[in-house]
Structure 1
Amino acid sequence: MTPSTADDAQMSVEEFEQIAHHAPETVTLEFINGRLEVKHVPDGDHGAIFMWLLRQCMQHRPDLDLHPEQGLKIETYRKGRARPDGALAPVRHFAGEGEWSDPHGVLMTVEVTSNDADTDRRDRVEKRDGYAEAGIPVYLLIDRDTGTLTVHSEPKNGSYQQSPTYPYGATVEFPDPVAITFNTEELKNYAR
């Protein structure tokens, strides 16, 4: 897919923010590559996986919070807006911020794939690239389709340089600045 430019974007970022602000609670909107994206409402397994990860982060790094659905300004050139399933940042990092925060200081973003047709393009490509371009040190993709976790790290020139993939059940080591290691055996309970 060819990335959009400011000239062929569906709307301005200001128009998007106005639409997103007035969207009903049953819909989550994002603005990626100059295009309006609808993020599907998560199912029970999606929520259980996120809660498992939240507990892991709290146990290993009580100095950090894993914020669900925190709006981030990504893609400096195309002025993107994304709501990762989770944004790991120091405690109180987002206090006083508005609906869309600067990604500076975010240590890791997290996406758990959903059962929809957009997952491949959105979570595995566009968001990955947007988070790398924004300089977010780590992007964790929990891929329910493949039963794996991919830890993208070392963003450089809009791409992550490292992307090891681990099967559910493996011990996963997150690089600095996240610096967490945990066993993913629990995720086997959510494999379908």
Structure 2
Amino acid sequence: MTAAVFDHDGPWTEEEYLALGETSQRVELFDGSLHVTPAPTPRHQNISGELRAALRTPARDAGLRVLEAVNVRLKPGRIPIPDLVITGEIDFDEPNIEASDVRLVCEIISPSNAATDKVLKMHYYAAAGIPWYLLIEQQSGTLHLYRRQGGHYIEQSVATVGEVLELVEPVRAKIRPEDLVP
């Protein structure tokens, strides 16, 4: 992948981006530019795995799916890789999930990447019409749930250690921060 990235001239197209294939790093496409981050830390992956486990049964009960680290096409040329999504019916063989199929998107905030998750991605997910956005602070486990209203997100609820975040949409679930953080 390294040679393909450094030998590339001009903005990246979706086709060129998808041709990179699977990598050990997260490579996202934002309006012709690649955003590359190292593989997530074990703490990050533990939180993601525990959250997926907590949401798996409620999602299935609602006829939905929970997926980790998949391409989500927000619009042509804009493909982030959220930490976790809850989707409706999708084609499991397509390289991208369309934003219109995503009911909830989750990002686990990495200290080195906080602005991307709190500002850039939040704006892009809202603009794409994704109804729910869950942000998780990696160190404390604090959960921030946002609901889309108009073209932006409004904070719906917050849960810190010792509290419970109760989801009623798109799935019914109770999540305790201490169950996610190692």
Structure 1 counterpart of 2:110: 114
TM-score (norm 1): 0.77
* Structure 1 unmatched runs, 5+: 1-9
In 2, Cα distance between equivalents of 1:33 and 1:169: 40
What corresponds to 1:164 in structure 2? 157
After TM superposition, the score normalised by the length of structure 2 is 0.81
Q: Which has the higher contact order (CA 8 A, sep 6+)?
A: 2
Asked if 1:65 corresponds to 2:59, the answer is no
**C-alpha distance in 2 between matches for 1:174 and 1:143:** 18
Number of equivalenced pairs = 171
The alignment partner of 1:129 has SS state of: helix
The question of 1:130 aligning with 2:128 is answered no
Partners of 1:135 and 1:167 lie apart in 2 by: 27
Q: How much is the aligned-residue C-alpha RMSD, in angstroms?
A: 2.3
Deviant stretches of 4+, over 4 Å: none
Amino acid at match of 2:129: G
Aligned counterpart for 2:37 among listed residues 36, 39, 57: 39
2:140–2:161: 8 Å Cα contact kept in structure 1?
A: no
Give the conservation status (yes or no) of the 8 Å contact 1:57–1:64: no
* Conservation of the 8 A alpha-carbon contact between 1:169 and 1:186: no
SS in 2 for 1:104: helix
Residue number among 168, 176, 181 corresponding to 1:183 in the alignment: 176
* Aligned match of 2:147: 153
Residue of 54, 57, 73 corresponding to 1:56: 54
The alignment partner of 2:24 has SS state of coil
Query: Displacement of 1:28 after TM fit?
Result: 1.8
User: Matched residues in 2 for 1:146 and 1:138: separation?
Assistant: 21
Q: Distance in 1 between matches of 2:32 and 2:115?
A: 14
Q: 1-side partners of 2:141 and 2:149: how far apart? A: 24
Shift of 1:150: 0.8
Q: CA deviation at 1:124?
A: 1.0
| Separation of aligned partners in 2, 1:108 and 1:146 | 21
Aligned twin of 2:24: 26
Structure 2: which 5+ runs fail to align?
Answer: 1-9
Cα distance in 2 between the residues matched to 1:162 and 1:175: 15
Shift of 1:94: 2.5
Aligned equivalent of 1:3: none
Q: Secondary structure at 1:38's aligned position in 2?
A: strand
Q: Alpha-carbon deviations, 1:51-72, whole Å to 9, x = none?
A: 1111111233323221111111
CA contact (8 A) 1:153 1:175 kept: no
Paired residue for 1:98? 94
